[in-house]
């Protein structure tokens, strides 16, 4: 499932001395030095505080759930194969409509309570499939044009059965969602607040005492200090053991330092305060020279999964009689020639050369390049090579015009001007946005760039819907259906034309374009299709449509790089899984 995530950061080199002082004073790592000598621990930096400890309500990545929860199955990021997790085995019926899972014996929650089939049934039936709970998980479970949901039933104490109403190609993969504890959460699902909403919607916020967060993954939450750190302690009841019967994971404690920028993270890593960091292009040369001296290795996972893009707000609806987008600007944004002109006007190769130091390539598709369903440009994927003359031609053909100062005006004489937002913590995105502002000025468009806090940005995209254009990214994967919540017209991450989520004020007059509905329908058809070649053809058509109509204008796909201390052993780095996908097997020396 895809989510919003902060990415690479670009900093001003002249600020490093100041940031170094800030880093040393802010991170307070010294208090851990005595314990660190005795307790095996792994320290990383993250760029924002968590928004929730409730998995079902989360739209943020990175998030704590990669350490705290597991599902029935998992995907090996090196091979792409499905592997057992909480389920020890499964079998698929001959008609492909049922999957029967058998749980491992002796599973327990972090509080020592048994983890049973009842937890699996509760998680799906009472949370993920419950329409009263606004969770993105439900979008990837919907089947067919009817958007029906699977049924989940208990067979006995060890076995649970999932059934879909019709063939569903990503059926098995969709059962990897985290299993949540019925004994801790059921009461909050069943009880309602004064407005008639489940208490679950306000359960396990970031102010919840850590000991109340019950988990099944390798680590449990031990402490959280706002703007400082998140501390995880090894879950003593985690199911996994090595071949010698030793309890996993081996590392006792994980610390996530909350840092204000990538610059601060770099300084903490270079001073020995962090065990690994993602390597932004602007830091690659510096860190590469220091590998031996610094006792670390830079791992290259190849092209990163996920996307970076700009997107215009195409929502033509209103709330309480007020349009979500200025009607004048909405007409521009909903003109396909306008979006195509913007795509032609952005010099992505210069962006790669300058911002990414050559460590990336142009991106043209919502589907990750590693996916077997990716459509390459040589196979017919439309691309927009830098061509400002073509951009001006498209604009004038759509009724736009230029004044004597070469400013772009619409047919009514309004100057074309809009606000571009991105998360202020991400210096790389700020650099990308600054170039976009400059590039679009060359075709007469004035861009007002306004970097804002990540939490504020997410609220605009998912709640108030008060925005014009944003630059952000989504995570990626091998299975395109994991992005169906982005492309379904009903999806929780259909941000360019978002419908209100459960409990939010209604929108009047929201319109869905024919191409938009077709992409949504094609995602459904591709999920129904079991023939691999036919699925590829359906996803190829989706990619052609997304590139023709450009609800998202894709920018750059960087290399996935990470610097890891030599003392961290067992790392099998991959672009999809990162440094710690096999955290239970890692050790520190």
CATH number of the CATH domain containing 341: 3.10.105.10
Whole-number pLDDT of residue 571: 97
Q: Above 60 in pLDDT, residue 25?
A: no
Please give the structure tokens belonging to residue 368: 């990750």
Span 75-81, mean pLDDT? 91
Considering the domain architecture, whether residues 410 and 365 belong to the same structural domain is answered as yes
Q: Above 50 in pLDDT, residue 445?
A: yes
Whole-number pLDDT of residue 145: 75
Is 553:343 a contact under the CB 8 Å cutoff? yes
Kindly report, residue by residue over 293-321, the tens digit of the pLDDT.
999 999 999 999 999 999 999 999 999 99
Considering the domain architecture, whether residues 322 and 358 belong to the same structural domain is answered as yes
Q: Above 60 in pLDDT, residue 20?
A: no
Span 281-298, mean pLDDT? 94
Kindly report, residue by residue over 175-209, the tens digit of the pLDDT.
999 999 999 999 999 999 998 999 999 999 999 99
Considering the domain architecture, whether residues 457 and 347 belong to the same structural domain is answered as yes
Q: Above 60 in pLDDT, residue 2?
A: no
> What is the Cα–Cα distance from 218 to 228, expressed in whole angstroms?
23
Helix (H, G, I), strand (E, B) or coil at 279: coil
Is residue 63 one of the residues assigned to a domain? no
- Average pLDDT of the chain is 91
Considering the domain architecture, whether residues 294 and 407 belong to the same structural domain is answered as no
Q: How far is CA 146 from CA 55, 149, 500, 542, in A?
A: 26, 9, 20, 20
- Structural domains counted in the chain: 2
> What is the Cα–Cα distance from 339 to 469, expressed in whole angstroms?
11
Q: Above 70 in pLDDT, residue 24?
A: no
Please give the structure tokens belonging to residue 225: 């200090």
Of the two residues 307 and 147, the one the predictor is more confident about is 307
Is residue 182 one of the residues assigned to a domain? no
> What is the Cα–Cα distance from 313 to 316, expressed in whole angstroms?
8
Is 345:336 a contact under the CB 8 Å cutoff? no
Considering the domain architecture, whether residues 322 and 380 belong to the same structural domain is answered as yes
Three-state secondary structure of 307-351: EEEEEECCCCCEECCEECCCHHHHHHHCCHHHHHHHHHHCCHHHH
Whole-number pLDDT of residue 301: 93
Is residue 94 one of the residues assigned to a domain? no
Please give the structure tokens belonging to residue 472: 């952000």
Structural domain boundaries, residue 211: 13-58+187-303+560-588
Considering the domain architecture, whether residues 298 and 443 belong to the same structural domain is answered as no
Is residue 440 one of the residues assigned to a domain? yes
pLDDT grade for 23, boundaries at 50, 70 and 90: very low
Considering the domain architecture, whether residues 400 and 475 belong to the same structural domain is answered as yes
Q: Supply φ then ψ for residue 392, to 5 degrees.
A: -65, -40
Q: Above 90 in pLDDT, residue 33?
A: no
Is 588:381 a contact under the CB 8 Å cutoff? no
Say which range, 59-63, 118-122, 145-149, 244-248, has the weakest mean pLDDT. Answer: 59-63
Burial class of residue 308, CB neighbours in 10 A (0-12, 13-18, 19+): buried
Is 447:420 a contact under the CB 8 Å cutoff? yes
**pTM for this entry:** 0.78
Is residue 493 one of the residues assigned to a domain? no
Considering the domain architecture, whether residues 252 and 315 belong to the same structural domain is answered as no
Whole-number pLDDT of residue 446: 98
Considering the domain architecture, whether residues 214 and 237 belong to the same structural domain is answered as yes
Considering the domain architecture, whether residues 231 and 311 belong to the same structural domain is answered as no
> What is the Cα–Cα distance from 181 to 186, expressed in whole angstroms?
8
Kindly report, residue by residue over 360-393, the tens digit of the pLDDT.
999 999 999 999 999 999 999 999 999 999 999 9
Considering the domain architecture, whether residues 286 and 379 belong to the same structural domain is answered as no
Considering the domain architecture, whether residues 472 and 336 belong to the same structural domain is answered as yes
Span 51-56, mean pLDDT? 95
Q: For position 236, which CATH number holds?
A: 3.40.190.10
Is 530:498 a contact under the CB 8 Å cutoff? no
Q: Above 80 in pLDDT, residue 277?
A: yes
Cα end-to-end span (Å), the chain? 34
Q: Above 60 in pLDDT, residue 536?
A: yes
Is 153:118 a contact under the CB 8 Å cutoff? no
Please give the structure tokens belonging to residue 430: 């700020």
Is 402:421 a contact under the CB 8 Å cutoff? no
Q: Beta strand 417-423 with 469-474: parallel, antiparallel or unpaired?
A: parallel
pLDDT grade for 3, boundaries at 50, 70 and 90: very low
Task: Give percent of the chain above pLDDT 90.
Answer: 82
């Amino acid at each position: 499932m895809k989510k919003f995530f902060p990415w690479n950061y670009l900093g001003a080199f002249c600020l490093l001395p100041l940031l170094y002082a800030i880093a040393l004073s802010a991170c307070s790592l010294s208090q851990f030095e005595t314990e660190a000598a005795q307790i095996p621990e792994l320290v990383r930096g993250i760029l924002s505080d968590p928004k929730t400890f409730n998995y079902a309500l989360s739209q943020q990545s990175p998030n704590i759930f990669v350490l705290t929860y597991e599902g029935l199955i998992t995907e090996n990021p090196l091979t792409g194969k499905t592997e057992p997790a909480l389920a020890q085995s499964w079998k698929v019926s001959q008609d492909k409509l049922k999957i029967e899972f058998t749980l491992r014996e002796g599973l327990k929650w972090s509080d020592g309570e048994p983890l049973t089939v009842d937890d699996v049934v509760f998680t799906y039936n009472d949370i993920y499939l419950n329409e009263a709970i606004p969770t993105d998980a439900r979008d990837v479970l919907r089947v067919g044009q009817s958007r029906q949901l699977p049924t989940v039933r208990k067979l006995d104490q060890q076995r649970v059965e999932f059934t879909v109403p019709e063939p569903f190609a990503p059926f098995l993969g969709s059962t990897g969602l985290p299993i949540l504890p019925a004994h801790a959460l059921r009461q909050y699902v069943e009880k309602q607040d004064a407005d008639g909403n489940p208490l679950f919607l306000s359960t396990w916020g970031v102010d919840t005492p850590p000991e109340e967060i019950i988990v099944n993954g390798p680590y449990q939450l031990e402490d959280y200090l706002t703007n400082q750190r998140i501390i995880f302690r090894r879950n003593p009841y985690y199911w996994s053991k090595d071949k010698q019967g030793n309890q996993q994971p081996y590392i006792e404690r994980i610390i996530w330092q909350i840092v204000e920028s990538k610059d601060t993270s770099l300084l903490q890593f270079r001073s020995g305060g962090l065990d690994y960091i993602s390597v932004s292009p602007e830091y690659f040369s510096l860190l590469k020279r220091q590998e031996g001296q610094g006792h670390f290795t830079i791992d290259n996972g190849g092209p990163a999964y996920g996307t970076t893009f700009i997107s215009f707000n195409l929502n033509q609806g209103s709330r309480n009689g007020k349009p979500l987008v200025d009607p004048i600007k909405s007409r521009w944004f909903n003109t396909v020639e306008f979006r195509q002109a913007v795509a032609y006007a952005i010099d992505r190769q210069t962006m790669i050369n300058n911002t990414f130091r050559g460590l990336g390539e142009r991106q043209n598709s919502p589907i990750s390049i590693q996916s077997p369903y990716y459509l390459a440009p040589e196979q017919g994927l439309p691309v927009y090579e830098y061509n400002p003359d073509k951009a001006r031609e498209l604009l004038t053909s759509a009724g736009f015009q230029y004044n004597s100062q070469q400013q772009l005006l619409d047919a009514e004489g309004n100057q074309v001007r809009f606000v571009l937002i991105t998360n202020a913590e991400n210096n790389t995105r700020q650099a990308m946005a600054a170039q976009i502002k400059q590039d679009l000025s060359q075709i007469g468009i004035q861009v007002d760039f306004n970097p804002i806090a990540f939490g504020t940005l997410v609220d605009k995209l998912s709640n108030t819907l008060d925005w014009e254009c944003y630059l952000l990214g989504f995570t990626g994967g091998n299975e395109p259906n994991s992005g169906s919540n982005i492309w379904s017209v009903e999806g929780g991450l259909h941000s360019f034309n978002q419908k209100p989520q459960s409990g939010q004020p209604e929108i009047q007059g929201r319109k869905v374009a024919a191409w938009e509905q077709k992409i949504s329908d094609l995602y459904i058809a591709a999920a129904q299709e079991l023939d691999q070649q036919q699925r590829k053809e359906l996803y190829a058509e989706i990619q052609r449509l997304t590139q023709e109509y450009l609800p998202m204008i894709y920018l750059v796909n960087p290399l996935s790089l990470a610097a890891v201390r030599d003392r961290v052993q067992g790392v099998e780095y991959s672009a999809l899984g990162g440094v710690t996908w096999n955290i239970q097997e890692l050790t520190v020396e």
